[in-house]
Amino acid sequence: MTERDWDDAVRLLDHADEVALLCHVGPDGDALGSMLGLGAALRGKGVTVVASFGDERMSVPSSYAYLPAQDLLVKPEDFPAAPALLVTFDTGSADRLGSLADRLETAGTTLVLDHHASNTRYGTVNLVEPAAAATAVVVAELLDRLGLPLTAEIAAPLYTGLVTDTGSFKYAATTPAVHELAARLLATGIRHDLISRSIWDTASLSYVRLLGEVCARAQLDPAAARGLGLVWTSVRAEDLSRHGLALSDVEGVIDVVRTAVEAEVAVVLKEDPSTGLLRVSTRSKGAVDVGAVCVGLGGGGHRFAAGYTSSEDVDATLARLTSALQAAPHLAA
């Protein structure tokens, strides 16, 4: 990412009267937060803004219900057919835009804001910073360069992106600059305690019960990843329906499974009730580049947190993944 890329992005947004925003399907806190944060800031300077994501049923997960500026969201069918300026957030590849991926062909200009190392640079202008802890960090820098002030309405979504993608400031990408940005965001008066409680510390009893079930049947394959070990479990559509839960409710299962010290790699296979396809979440502790493994299987992500979609059944998906892990080199500590 060069100064030229920043200048191009600033020029695009400075001159736009209308902007259409998209984040990836099954959005997490960074996808929604970076999108709504920039959306609120642009609206504040008089730009007409719409935002969406290409899920069959576009709904914001309940853990992000507090996010401001959700009135910018329109249903996929109401999203402009040929936006003059399209901006995408936290979306490493075109397919992750789901049913709205076709707008990449009809948009006049596309600006890509992201931090995935696997980003395929599908935009006209690509602001992709793999070292950034979150796409929200890229957006915050862009707002500074646009000379737009941080308000609480902008800060709450950006803080959401920052806290989500750093795992509450725990992961390695949490630099001094990340804490300095967090301080600026908190200084706007946002209720970070309520944000964190909603994201991390609020769940239904149904979820707690489902978590117990799927964790109880987790399997360990100590020989996988050339002896570093794999722990995995699955969440079937039947589990979701029995507990009255949606796919977006079980995003956090991987965070419990990955704590198993016996395995370098953790995997959760989640059956999407609307498509029957398996969403595969992978995590590693630092010795295996699961991002590269997932790119090889048609997905993407970060080195130690990545995913893909499989159209095979659980057994075939695991077999293919296990053989890809066997071929993956071990990284130096």
Residues that bind ligand 5GP in the complex, under the rule CB under 6 A: 92-93, 96, 118, 254, 281, 299-302, 305-309
3-state secondary structure of 254: helix
- Closest distance of CB 36 from ligand 5GP, Å: 17
Task: Assess 22 for contact with Mn ion (CB under 5 A).
Answer: no
**Tokens (6 digits) for 38:** 């920039």
Residue given tokens 């295996």 in the structure block = 288
Residue given tokens 């991987």 in the structure block = 254
Task: Assess 31 for contact with Mn ion (CB under 5 A).
Answer: yes
What is the C-alpha separation between 28 and 231, in angstroms, rounded? 23
Residue with smaller CB distance to Mn ion, 119 or 233: 119
Residue with smaller CB distance to ligand 5GP, 37 or 92: 92
DSSP 71: G
Contact predicate 267/231, CB 8 Å? yes
Task: Assess 28 for contact with Mn ion (CB under 5 A).
Answer: yes
- Closest distance of CB 239 from Mn ion, Å: 23
- Closest distance of CB 330 from ligand 5GP, Å: 21
Q: Choose from ligand 5GP, Mn ion, none: what does 92 bind? Cβ within 5-8 Å by kind.
A: ligand 5GP
What is the C-alpha separation between 157 and 239, in angstroms, rounded? 31
- Closest distance of CB 10 from Mn ion, Å: 24
Residue with smaller CB distance to Mn ion, 31 or 162: 31
Residue with smaller CB distance to ligand 5GP, 116 or 243: 116
Q: Which residues contact 300 (CB under 8 A, 6 or more apart)?
A: 92, 93, 96, 116, 118, 119, 291, 294, 306, 307, 308
- Closest distance of CB 90 from Mn ion, Å: 4
Contact predicate 310/282, CB 8 Å? no
- Closest distance of CB 228 from Mn ion, Å: 26
Q: Is 3 exposed, middle or buried (0-12, 13-18, 19+ CB in 10 A)?
A: exposed
Residue with smaller CB distance to ligand 5GP, 96 or 103: 96
Q: Choose from ligand 5GP, Mn ion, none: what does 264 bind? Cβ within 5-8 Å by kind.
A: none
Q: Which residues lie near Mn ion (CB under 5 A)?
A: 28, 30-31, 90
